Amino acid sequence: MSSYNVVKSLKDEGLLRSIKLVDVSNDLGVITELGLLSVPAISKDGKILGIDPLEPDFVKALLTGDEVTIEKYVPKSYSEALDRFSVSLIHSSYASILALIHNSIDPLLNTKFIDHAVRLELASSLSKDKLIEEIKLRSRDIFESLKDKMVRVAAKNYLREVVWILGTDIDESTLKKFIDRDLITQWLLAKASVGRALVPYNFDIVKDVATHVVNVLTNRLSKYLKDLIEEYRTLMREFVHRELE
């Protein structure tokens, strides 16, 4: 819903015409050129200025040139940057799953994800080399502190895709058939890998993550299903409305 919330906010403020919406659902070129691992994102002159969580007020400030508000959403210290990195990590299903199946955030260290997460294009007082050093020093602590949240992110995204494929009329008893460790293990591998790249050597770690996902879904199925059905219907209503405009 993050992209929806940003777009809706801009539309309500009459600012939607100030931006160009880019559909990245079938454009690998944009993704690879920008090194983009998370959406929604906002860019200017080919540079990513921020990724999810992309606050509507931050986007509005960028569009209107409100420097005071922009500053509120840009880290000014390495401590704030680490917090920003952590928040962006758990808002990215791809980054979360990649970290989980490798039992580490190391696969993210040589990517643009760090730049985008901490809004490095706007954080002129921060050095990326220094930031990476800080993340490396705390990488284990960061991973362990976020692991449970990342598992929940993976669980809800898995369920979301099942609901999208099977439709919102699905009942819990049918859905429970898909809460299976082997199915989820395969999904995790497919979700985070690019061909044979980024496939971890130790599949036991992936199976362990899948077991945790199963546990989360078993305990939260009713709540997640209710949330996802409402999310789906909201998006479909908006899609139909836009088609009729």
For 45-54, what is the mean pLDDT? Answer: 93
Confidence of residue 244 (pLDDT cuts 50, 70, 90): very low
pTM of the predicted structure, to 2 decimals: 0.92
Q: What pLDDT sits at residue 2?
A: 84
Closest CA to 38 of 119, 145, 131: 119
Q: What pLDDT sits at residue 72?
A: 95
Q: What pLDDT sits at residue 89?
A: 98
Q: Is the pLDDT of residue 127 over 90?
A: yes
Q: What pLDDT sits at residue 124?
A: 84
Amino acid at 15: L
Q: What pLDDT sits at residue 161?
A: 95
Q: Is the pLDDT of residue 241 over 70?
A: no
d(CA 215, CA 94): 20
Average pLDDT over all residues of the chain: 92
d(CA 97, CA 119): 22
d(CA 80, CA 221): 34
Domain boundaries, the chain: 1-73, 146-244
Q: Is the pLDDT of residue 143 over 80?
A: yes
- Can you read off the two tokens belonging to residue 149? 């949240």
For 189-199, what is the mean pLDDT? Answer: 91
Q: What pLDDT sits at residue 243?
A: 44
